Amino acid sequence: MEKRLIKKDALSGIINKLSEQMLVYAPVKDEDNVLFKVLEKGMEPLADYSNTRNAPKNFFFPKTETMMRYMRTERGIELSGEGEGAPEMVLFGVRPCDARSFILLDKVFDQEKYKDPYYIDKREKTTIISLACVHPPYSTCFCTSVGGHPMSSEGADVVLTDLGDKYLAEFVTPKGEKLLEKMGDLSKADDAAEATKEELSKKSEEAITSHVAGREIKPWLDENFEHPFWDTIHQSCLACGTCTYLCPTCHCFDISDEVKGSDGKRIRTWDSCMYWLFTKETSGHNPRTSQKQRWRQRLMHKFKYFVDNFDAIACVGCGRCVMYCPVNIDIRKIVNDISKL
Ligand code: SF4
Ligand code: SF4
């Protein structure tokens, strides 16, 4: 693995140099928010922000995406695609929990049985530079309880660790190493930098104060589809879907056709298991009519079904659903309550 040192005041110039060669998305300040935006000349990429409110999943799995277009003609229906596909792109400044979410999304969209060409095209053409959480930003972070770490490199091609006056840059994949060639001359990392990183890694893990029994509840979930506990968690839920839309690992979608005259397009849009309409079938039957059933599904999907199917929990512990639920439903509490049953 190639390792380099980047002086703090040189980072912005290096990322801007990349943006002259390819499309670069980076976190930038936007009024009270931090958003990933296309980096244009003179824009300052943020390297010391906490995290974005929206997870970066939309780069590979957009909120709305045209899958194909069609036209009714006298010869029948003619199909056409959507242009040439995604451009080469760099996604700079992803936090480790969100970088790890891409590995979980890969399990769904790029698996042996099913390959989603829309997702895979964008994912393959994107190089991800993550920023290690030397100081985990929120009390709601619980990445260490679900298989992650604040300084994990999972899902990243390049990991930057803030060592004070410089960054340690680790080029962890061949894609990352290819990017190194475009970054210009950078000095090699020394043993002292690696030792500092090790020390910071231990401290960052200790700084995570939320501990959730994420891995322990599976046996209970296996046995308790019907249990009075499920009557307790959904009571205040508004079914707004905020938790699922902000979640970096939620990936449910709906497919519909928009037709105007003889032209049509097939589009895919994000959907949410928190919605009544989500499971409504064409016959009118709805197998999940209550919010209780929908909340059970959300929890079961993340901590049981995904584990059964892919041997991983479908939660990276980013804490977004905890922070932004308007009625303060806290998935950490639910999981920990289950662990005591
Ligand atoms: S954010 Fe809260 S209120 Fe909205 S659907 Fe999720 S759990 Fe329910
Ligand atoms: S379930 Fe909540 S904490 Fe877990 S990844 Fe999704 S938004 Fe983050």
Q: Where among 173, 206, 239 does a domain terminate?
A: 206
- Tell me: do 194 and 223 sit in the same domain: no
Q: Is any atom of ligand 1 closer than 6 Å to the C-beta of 62?
A: no
How many Cβ atoms are within 10 Å of 58's Cβ, its own excluded?
Answer: 15
- Number of domains within the chain: 2
pLDDT tens for the chain, 341 residues long, are 899 999 999 999 999 999 999 999 999 888 888 889 899 887 888 988 889 989 999 999 999 999 999 999 999 999 987 777 889 999 999 999 999 999 999 999 999 999 999 999 999 999 999 999 999 989 999 999 999 999 999 999 999 999 999 999 999 999 999 999 999 889 999 999 999 999 999 999 999 999 999 999 999 999 999 999 999 999 999 999 999 999 999 999 999 999 999 999 999 999 999 999 999 999 999 999 999 999 999 999 999 999 999 999 999 999 999 999 999 999 999 999 999 99
Is residue 211 included in any domain, yes or no?
A: no
Is residue 118 included in any domain, yes or no?
A: yes
Is residue 134 included in any domain, yes or no?
A: yes
Q: Which helix (H) or strand (E) holds 79?
A: strand 76-80
- Tell me: do 198 and 229 sit in the same domain: no
- Tell me: do 226 and 180 sit in the same domain: no
Q: Amino acid identity of 99? A: A
What does the pLDDT look like over 65-102, one tens digit per residue? 999 999 999 999 999 877 778 899 999 999 999 999 99
- Tell me: do 81 and 193 sit in the same domain: yes
Q: Where among 206, 240, 273 does a domain terminate?
A: 206
Q: What angle do CA 258, 260, 261 make, to 5 degrees?
A: 140
Is residue 50 included in any domain, yes or no?
A: yes
Residue 250 and residue 272 in contact, taking contact as beta carbons nearer than 8 Å: yes
- Tell me: do 18 and 62 sit in the same domain: yes
CA of 222 to the centre of ligand 2 (A): 21
Residue whose CB lies within 8 A of the most ligand 2 atoms, among 299, 321, 329, for a mutation test: 321
What does the pLDDT look like over 196-254, one tens digit per residue? 999 999 999 999 999 999 999 999 999 999 999 999 999 999 999 999 999 999 999 99
What integer pLDDT is reported at residue 137 of this predicted model? 86
Is residue 129 included in any domain, yes or no?
A: yes
- Tell me: do 152 and 253 sit in the same domain: no
Instruction: Please state, rounded to an integer, the average pLDDT across all residues of the chain.
Output: 94
What is the residue whose two structure tokens read 């501990």?
211
- Tell me: do 197 and 223 sit in the same domain: no
- Tell me: do 200 and 223 sit in the same domain: no
**CA–CA dist 103, 17 (Å, integer):** 28
Q: Is any atom of ligand 1 closer than 6 Å to the C-beta of 329?
A: yes
Q: Is any atom of ligand 1 closer than 6 Å to the C-beta of 242?
A: yes
Is residue 213 included in any domain, yes or no?
A: no
The proportion of the chain whose per-residue pLDDT surpasses 90, expressed as a percent, equals: 87
Burial profile 235-273: b = 16 or more Cβ within 10 angstroms, e = fewer: eebeeebbbbbbbbbbbeeeeeeeeeeeebbbbbebbbb
Q: How far is CA 179 from CA 11, 88, 89, 174, in A?
A: 14, 11, 11, 9
Q: Which structural domain, as residue segments, surrounds residue 123?
A: 2-206
Q: What is the pTM of this model?
A: 0.94
- Tell me: do 243 and 198 sit in the same domain: no
Q: Where among 206, 235, 269 does a domain terminate?
A: 206
Minimum-distance ligand to the CA of 273?
1
Is residue 62 included in any domain, yes or no?
A: yes
- Tell me: do 40 and 130 sit in the same domain: yes
- Tell me: do 175 and 223 sit in the same domain: no
- Tell me: do 24 and 107 sit in the same domain: yes
Minimum-distance ligand to the CA of 100?
2
**CA–CA dist 92, 23 (Å, integer):** 11
Is residue 91 included in any domain, yes or no?
A: yes
